[in-house]
Amino acid sequence: MWDVTAQQQLTGKAFMTTPTNWRRIGHIIADEIYKRITGEQGYFDSRIVYISETGPYDHRIKRLAIMDQDGENHHFLTDGDTLVLTPRFSPTEQQITYMAYYHNKPRVYLYDIDSGRQEKLGDFPGMTFAPRFSPDGNKVVMSLSKNGNSDVYTMDLRNHGVSQLTHDNSINTSPSYSPDGKYITFESDRSGVPEIYVMNSDGSGAHRITFSEGHYSSPVWSPRGDLIAFTRFYQNQFYIGVIHPDGHGERLITQGYDVEGPTWAPNGRVLAYFKELPTGWNKTGRSAQLYTIDLTGFNEMKVNTPLDASDPAWSPLNP
């Protein structure tokens, strides 16, 4: 890589691989260029898992699917026989945690990408939102609904022990760990409408960080630790935005009829999400597609998928 102005080499590396692996090498080279120019880690050598959807609005067939972050090397992980929801990558292993409805009962599964092996973590009647891994990969944090009340719980993956973190007579959902594992952000309507809160990882010190009008949901902590992405519904529009963990600097970066499900690229500079639009002459159908956008709010790009797509989750860099 040569700087033509300074007349000097910026970096030089050589890679060798089999011909069938040329796309992977291309992504690794792109990451090297990105890092040398920006000084930050790249994100090109990564993958996205998402929910592939087909069929009528009232009877959607949903399958887990995975692809490179640019939409290539696409393949399905499940066959569509059971309803699957909210996949999330492990930060330490090539594993995905997700929800599936087996005989109309919600279950949490672990899926090993390399082997294709699935492991049931447990049956959780009434679970409302996706399980997410802790930064060390040893725990899963999730929302469980018991006796008409939803609270945040953790499960230790080593012994399957479950601990309750919130004890509040409201809906507490959508938890997400900070990258250092010290804090959890979550959504709660304890103030009357859904807002974003932050608490210590043991459940103590919960405090609200959003105070603008509208409803906030789906908070997810940046891998850099500096921002929390969210969905906001305000004046009949959906927005994807970011906010600092202390509650200052809220910024909306994209909007639409329905934009939801933000997920961070491994370098914390790009977000993926899905857009949903009504279809058909009577607007009772739906079409959902994946998009990525730079943290600045520019360079929005559609990610091509074979079928409709929703609820993306971005992987760490490939090992």
Q: What is the pLDDT of residues 300-311, one digit of tens each?
A: 999 999 999 999
**Which is more confidently placed, 238 or 105?**
238
Which pLDDT value is given to residue 129?
64
Which pLDDT value is given to residue 279?
84
> How big is the CA angle at 287 (ends 281 and 290), to the nearest 5 degrees?
155
Give CA–CA dist 195/187, Å, rounded: 6
Residue 237 predicted with pLDDT over 90: yes
229: its two tokens: 């992405």
93: its two tokens: 């292993």
Give CA–CA dist 101/280, Å, rounded: 28
> How big is the CA angle at 147 (ends 157 and 210), to the nearest 5 degrees?
75
Give the global pTM.
Answer: 0.93
Residue 58 predicted with pLDDT over 90: no
Which pLDDT value is given to residue 103?
76
With a CB cutoff of 8 Å and minimum separation 6, the contacts of 236 are none
Largest CA distance in the chain: 69
Give CA–CA dist 226/249, Å, rounded: 11
Name the one residue in this structure whose structure tokens are 């760490």: 316
For 209, other C-beta atoms within 10 Å of its C-beta total 20
Stated length of the chain: 319
State mean pLDDT over 104-124.
85
Which pLDDT value is given to residue 98?
92
123: its two tokens: 């049956």
139-149 burial, b at 16+ Cβ within 10 Å, e below that, comes to: bbbbbbbeeee
